[in-house]
A and B are shown apart, each in its own frame.
Chain A
Amino acid sequence: MRPMKVRLLFFAVLRDIAGTDAAEWSLDEGTTASDVWQRLRGAYAQLSDYTQPPMIAVNESYAGPETVLREGDELAFIPPVAGG
């Protein structure tokens, strides 16, 4: 499998947990958004209880957890929204 680069964006509580607002990850082809969430759970203890990912956005649009990522994609996990 060839590696690809995906840009991760962190907002709100996830930015506080990750300690950064963005990161570039090198992932294997075929990696899904859900796979990335599981890696984040492994990396940050505060996420370990969250077995299911929150809402997901790929390239600024909502997407399902099984969305397969592509080279250059921008991936963001969307914590429960609270606008208004």
Chain B
Amino acid sequence: MTYLTDAPIDSHALIARVVRPSDGAYVLFEGVVRNHHEGKAVESIFYDAYRPMAEKEIEAIVRDVEREFPDVAVAVLHRLGHLIVGDASIAIVAASPHRAEAFGACRMMIDRIKETVPIWKKERGPDGEEWVGWQGRC
């Protein structure tokens, strides 16, 4: 399974991959590039990753989510490279016989991905560019 892509994300293809006849709901989450961050204007973002490790980490999170929500089927795709405002950087689909589990699984996926998966972003705007999270941390 590959969870990373350099191409624009096709969420409908992702939905088609996971939704089963027994599902009564699916939740689609898309993270999109916004035009501001901490008061600064943002025009584009470059996403970088430690690809083989990111694939493994996302795979481990998918397994954890499936353990926590056994009736849910999930799919995830994270885009890398140069993205502009409005582009989807990540899409997650969680399909389930009932909606509560679909919402829960989708929420758990995105929260865990933000915590541990080795993916980074460099924001670019009129004031210059900066790797998010580096200054003053570490």
Contacts and interface: CB of A to CB of B under 8 A. Distances in A.
A69 interface: no
Contacts of B67: none
Interface of B: 31, 47-50, 52-54, 56, 78, 89-90, 110, 113-122, 131-134, 137-138
A-side interface mostly: loop
B83 to A, nearest CB: 12
Contacts, number: 81
Q: Which 9 pairs across A and B sit closest by C-beta, in order of nearness?
A: A83-B119, A80-B133, A12-B120, A13-B131, A60-B53, A82-B132, A84-B114, A13-B134, A82-B121
Interface string A53-84: 11001001110000000000000101111111
Interface of A: 9, 11-13, 15-16, 50, 52-54, 57, 60-62, 76, 78-84
Contacts of A12: 48, 120, 122, 131, 134
Contacts of A81: 114-120, 133
B-side interface mostly: mixed
Given A13-B131, A52-B138, A76 B117 contact: no
A84 B110 contact: yes
B50 A80 contact: no
Given A11-B50, A81-B114, 14 more contacts: A11-B120, A12-B48, A12-B134, A54-B138, A60-B50, A60-B56, A61-B56, A76-B118, A78-B118, A79-B138, A80-B133, A83-B47, A83-B117, A83-B120
